[in-house]
Structure 1
Amino acid sequence: MAGEKTIRAGQCHCGAVRFEATLSDGFNSIRRCTCSYCRMRGAVVVMAEMGGIRFLAGEDALTSYRFHTGTAQHFFCSRCGIYTHHQRRSDTTLYAVNVACLDGVSPFDFPEVPVMDGVNHTNDTGQPTRRAGTLRFIPAD
């Protein structure tokens, strides 16, 4: 249901970083991105509002990476290297959370994931964000 907030527990691979994420619109905001960093990382993300991530353990184990304009801040565990979330460039009031870090959730749980055009980023073009395509997962029989 649109507008439904969902709280999900999550962690990095080694468990050093543990958190709860309040998803702004459940899993309705799921997506991938085509920018150079997201393309290499390959994560499927879902949105949480600013203040929507509460760390239960290991916030001090997080490290971050910024590139290009330096607006987006990408967080990952300094021990196991897993990307947990990032503050978005196009809307700095939102965090994108790696669904693979959420307990009981896999990127392969979603038969279709919208892929957004991050190469032609809205902050660079002044145009609305364009959908670049759809990532589909079709399980083998």
Structure 2
Amino acid sequence: MAGDTNIRTGQCHCGAVRFEVTLSDGFNSIRRCNCSYCRMRGAIVVAAEMSGIRFLQGEDALTSYRFNTGIAQHFFCSRCGISTHLQRRSNPNLFGVNVACLDGVSPFDFAEVPVMDGVNHPNDTGGPARRAGILRFEPDD
């Protein structure tokens, strides 16, 4: 495990929920979404297969939220409120894992993050997934 950068550990803010996750493609799948919920939540996520997440503790402390079509399921710690991961609407066989919950990783580690157009979701429009823009972080020196 120590040599595989696709395997990461993580937790919520209070530490009640701890997990190990195997990222599907490292950080190459990093993204944000501009749908109403994700816009307010502000998380940057990375992809993992449903079988790629293993809870080390606190799975019973997770609760979830669904809206609109009810397909996407957003999981968060019932104690501290931090969103740890979501089951994607575009592919319910994938999780989007909040990079801010991964040990040793910060959302500010990424200079550019693609923002996907969740307002005009491909499941609603029948068209392909579309990028809405890019979120950039430029640190002050």
TM-score range, shorter chain: over 0.9
Matched, 1:46 2:46: yes
Partner residue in 2 for 1:134: 134
Aligned residue identity for 2:93: T
- Whether the 8 Å contact between 1:5 and 1:24 is mirrored in structure 2 is no
TM-score, length of structure 1 as denominator length: 0.96
Separation in structure 1 between the aligned mates of residue 73 and residue 139 of structure 2, nearest angstrom: 33
Once the 2 structures are TM-superposed, how far is the Cα of residue 136 of structure 1 from its aligned partner? 0.3
Partner residue in 2 for 1:65: 65
- Whether the 8 Å contact between 1:5 and 1:25 is mirrored in structure 2 is no
Partner residue in 2 for 1:22: 22
Q: Percent identity?
A: 81
Separation in structure 2 between the aligned mates of residue 39 and residue 129 of structure 1, nearest angstrom: 17
Once the 2 structures are TM-superposed, how far is the Cα of residue 109 of structure 1 from its aligned partner? 0.1
Name structure 2 gaps, 5 residues minimum.
Answer: none
Partner residue in 2 for 1:108: 108
Query: Number of paired residues?
Result: 138
Separation in structure 2 between the aligned mates of residue 128 and residue 8 of structure 1, nearest angstrom: 30
Name structure 1 gaps, 5 residues minimum.
Answer: none
Once the 2 structures are TM-superposed, how far is the Cα of residue 65 of structure 1 from its aligned partner? 0.3
TM-score, length of structure 2 as denominator length: 0.96
Separation in structure 1 between the aligned mates of residue 35 and residue 17 of structure 2, nearest angstrom: 26
Separation in structure 1 between the aligned mates of residue 96 and residue 116 of structure 2, nearest angstrom: 13
Q: State the Cα RMSD in Å.
A: 1.0
Separation in structure 2 between the aligned mates of residue 81 and residue 50 of structure 1, nearest angstrom: 22
- Whether the 8 Å contact between 1:31 and 1:116 is mirrored in structure 2 is yes
Aligned residue identity for 2:26: G
SS at match of 2:38: helix
Greater than 2 Å deviation, 4+ residue runs: none
